Amino acid sequence: MTKIMEKFGCKVFNDAVMQERLTKNTYKELQKTIKKGETLNYEIAREVASAMKDWAIENGATHFTHWFHPLSGATAEKHESFVTTAGGGKIIMEFSPSNLVKGEADASSFPSGGLRDTFEARGYTAWDPTSYAFIKDNILCIPTVFCSYSGEALDHKTPLLRSMEALNKQAMRILHLFGNENVDHVKATAGAEQEYFLVDKKNFDQREDLILSGRTLIGAMPPKGQEMNDHYYGQIKTRVSEFMKDLNEELWEVGIQAKTEHNEVAPSQHELANNFLTINVSADQNNLTMEIMKKVARKHDLECLLHEKPFAGVNGSGKHNNWSLKTDTGMNLLEPGDTPMENAQFLLFLSAIIKAVDEYQDLLRISISSAGNDHRLGASEAPPAIVSIFLGDELSEILDSIRLDKPYQNKERAKIQIGVHTIPTFPKDNTDRNRTSPFAFTGNKFEFRMPGSSASIATPNTILDTVVAEELKGFADRLEKAEDLNDEIHKVIKETLKKHSRIIFNGNGYDPSWIKEAERRGLSNYASTPEALAHYLDKKNVKVFVDNGVLSKTECESRYEIYLEKYYKTINIEAKTMLEMLKKDVLPSSVKFEEALCEVLCGKQKLKMDVKGSYEEKTLKKVADLKKGIVKDLEKMEKLLNENKESDPLKKAFFYRDKIIPLMGSVRKNTDELELITDRKYWPMPSYRELLFGVD
């Protein structure tokens, strides 16, 4: 225990380090920036930079970097040395306030959606003092935002910070109406549940599809998959346990707590859940967690797969985003209390969220869109693409009583009886858990279950913060003019529920009847990324970003292009990888298998043996038929890829969805069938059996 306490946060320039190394006045001013968003002056930055440099060097750092989240989807860093020449062959260790506050990066080399031409290269990184600096691999990492020379956001974090300010502003207006004068600010908090796969590195290295696209583009299911449910919460294998132990220690050093870790449903699938933190810090920590997971896995000769669907036929991986609202005084605004019927403040915030999710269901769907997540949504391990809210029976009954003007029959909360006398009974939670719901209330927070495992949680949380801020603004505008505040609050809640209760659905999201029911209710159902992104620039969506100061119209347009480009480029890479694997590995290997079968057939014929209907004859014909189908589809796919000259990004995305993906599916079907009848010694790559069950 002592070792853990000493290790935790030892590589983080956290609050304890600041108190120890900064003067009282500097610490106080820095806390105003961190907690209240006040501007930090240059002299304060000078002392912080000096203290941060000394601390980093004492802890083994030789370089520093501005660590940011560009729209390419990964984190980025450019290392700068502390060492500066001082004349006479001597050096000094230097880290100025400007080094801390501002950096420069080549903005033309990152996705910009047309905001920057190639010759317009200058971009800036700017320190985010609300997220602690940390040391990684002897590099001082300073969390920053990233913007262009002309000030447009080129990262995930800048809009997130803007959305947090918008949400705080509007939530504070509501709280002041309820007399909460002691509250200084409201922050959205998040905790990410990160799912991932671990496979043996030697098997990974033999799979070109895993290396280049992160998922298997071909591969037949083994006789056993996840149908026995024996992996979920099962005993963690020794090698995985050793990985998790080392992972925890590295995470502890940078102040990240893995609150939960366990086996997930699919073989070789696991989950790690981080603690609840302010959203921008949570996003930073989740990105850092993904980096460290991949690094630690390789130390154990493993590879960590973060793709949403690395294996067809078994569960894919999501990143459940648990979202709530908390004041600086510690009040959770989504805590119903013992009598939620009488908690007007809770019901008002809940109504704003219901209205926001209903009016901006398309934006929420867009926020989690990607080529990878399209494989996962609607399958047995993920919510459907239809956005809805789960509230549970008790809360739904309360809202119905308000909406329909009928008395609410308050019920004593039922107790769960286990049936074993030595185990005490305990009260039920307010809600059950609905794993099919995209946006489920789970007692004092909402679990947004749609995000994919490889994505940053910054974008979905930016959308959530923005749309909820918009609805709170509308509520506050109305309530601040009310003659009778209590009466007006009741009217706002009642009118909201009457108009937007269609988004509430407590049933089975996997049931085919829900699709028809959702359509009847007027809910959107965008099954693919292009369908969703087609609505990104809808007037109401651009307006909500612009009005709340989260994204400008130009920034919206650039992100629209970036998201579409990422979608079709991903599928293009997958298609070309599949072509290469089939041409250079699978088809040549199947020829060798055919030759072996022919040799046996010829030998039998020489011996005048009857070969009609034999295993060799039937298999040879089957192989030839499958190869013929594969080659036909490959030639068609190659021709389409070479001839496609579409320039419109949306049309190009639909081209890949409608033309290339179906062909890839057809190729895969025939290839997987070919694998099932091919002698193992001829198959050119590790099978699903080796990948899914190859870690001991």
Residue 252 to residue 274: CA distance in whole angstroms:
11
Can you give the pLDDT at residue 416? 36
Residues 6+ positions from 451 with CB-CB distance below 8 Å = 318, 319, 320, 321, 367, 368, 373, 457, 460
Residue 86 has pLDDT above 80, yes or no: no
The DSSP line for 520-561 is HHT-----SHHHHHTTTT-HHHHHHHHHTTS--HHHHHHHHH
pLDDT band, very low/low/confident/very high, at 418 (cuts 50, 70, 90)? very low
**pLDDT greater at residue 103 or residue 251:** 251
Least confident of 220-229, 331-340, 406-415: 406-415
Q: Which two tokens stand for residue 199?
A: 């496979």
From residue 195, alpha-carbon distances to 185, 265, 532, 629 in Å are 32, 10, 24, 36
Residue type, 441: F
Poorest-confidence range of 86-100, 202-216, 316-330?
A: 86-100
Nearest Cα neighbor of 142 from 158, 156, 130 is 130
What is the predicted pLDDT for the residue at 89?
63
**What pLDDT does residue 273 have?**
92
Tens digits of per-residue pLDDT, 533-589?
999 999 999 999 999 999 999 999 999 999 999 999 999 999 999 999 999 999 999
Structure tokens belonging to residue 631:
């080659």
The pLDDT tens digits for 280-314 are 999 999 999 999 999 999 999 999 999 999 999 99
Instruction: Answer yes or no: are the C-beta atoms of 690 and 210 closer than 8 Å.
Output: no
CATH number of 163-213+230-548: 3.30.590.10
Six-digit token string for 652? 């190009």
Tens of pLDDT along 245-284? Answer: 999 999 999 999 887 888 998 999 999 998 889 999 999 9
Task: Report H helices in 268-392.
Answer: 279-299, 344-359, 361-367, 371-374
**Residue-wise pLDDT tens digits, 56-82:** 999 999 999 999 999 987 799 999 999
State residue 410's pLDDT score: 65
Q: Give CA–CA dist 570/35, Å, rounded.
A: 40
- Residue 422: other Cβ atoms inside 10 A: 5
Kindly provide the b/e burial profile for residues 579-610, where b requires at least 16 CB atoms within 10 angstroms of the residue's own CB. bebbeebbbebbeebbeebeebbeeeeeeeee
Tokens of 525: 């159902």
- Cα distance between residue 462 and residue 454, in whole Å: 17
Phi, psi of 579 (to 5 degrees): -55, -45
d(CA 440, CA 431): 10
| pLDDT tens sequence across 185-206 | 999 999 999 999 999 999 999 9
Tracing tokens 């008395």 back to the chain, one arrives at 407
Question: Which fold does the domain 567-693 belong to in CATH?
Answer: Four Helix Bundle (Hemerythrin (Met), subunit A) (1.20.120)
By three-state DSSP, how is residue 460 classified? helix
Does residue 524 register a pLDDT over 50?
A: yes
* Cβ(167)–Cβ(468) below 8 Å: yes
Q: What is the pLDDT of residue 424?
A: 45
Report whether pLDDT(429) > 60.
no
Q: Which residue has the tokens 């729209």?
A: 71
Instruction: List, in sequence order, every residue forming a beta bridge with 261; answer none if it has no partner.
Output: 272
Distance CA 383, CA 379 (A): 7
Closest by Cα among 290, 122, 305 to 204: 305
Alpha helices in 92-237 (DSSP H): 97-101, 157-177, 201-204, 208-213
Q: Which residues contact 247 (CB under 8 A, 6 or more apart)?
A: 258, 272, 292, 293, 296
- Spatial CA neighbour of 468 closest among 491, 430, 506, 496: 496
Report whether pLDDT(417) > 50. Answer: no
What are the residues whose beta carbons fall under 8 Å from the beta carbon of 222, sequence distance 6 or more? 687, 688, 689, 692, 693
Our separate counts of H helices and E strands in the chain read 25, 19
- Percent of the chain whose predicted confidence (pLDDT) is above 90: 73
Residues 310, 313, 317, 318, CA torsion sign: positive
DSSP letters of 248-293? HHHHHHTT--EEEEEE-SSTTEEEEEEPPEEHHHHHHHHHHHHHHH
Task: Check residue 117 and give its pLDDT.
Answer: 64
Listed by start position, the domains of the chain span 2-155, 163-213+230-548, 567-693
DSSP class of residue 235 equals P
Is residue 427 pLDDT above 60, yes or no?
no
Mean pLDDT of 409-419: 50
Q: Which amino acid is at 113?
A: G
Domain range 2-155, CATH class: alpha beta
Render pLDDT for 642-695 as a digit per residue (tens, 0 to 9).
999 899 999 999 999 999 999 999 999 999 999 999 999 999 999 999 999 999
**What H or E segment, with its residue span, contains residue 499?**
helix 485-500
DSSP assigned state of 413: P
In this predicted model, what pLDDT tens digit does every residue of 508-517 receive, in sequence order? 998 899 999 9
Q: What is the pLDDT of residue 605?
A: 85
Name the token pair of 370.
């990607």
Please count the CA atoms within 13 angstroms of the CA of 601 that sit on its side-chain side. Answer: 17
Strand partners, 270: 196, 263
For residue 320, the one-letter residue type is H
Supply 55's token pair: 């601390």
pTM recorded for the entire structure: 0.93
Q: Is 31 helix (H, G, I), strand (E, B) or coil?
A: helix
> Which amino acid type is present at position 634?
L
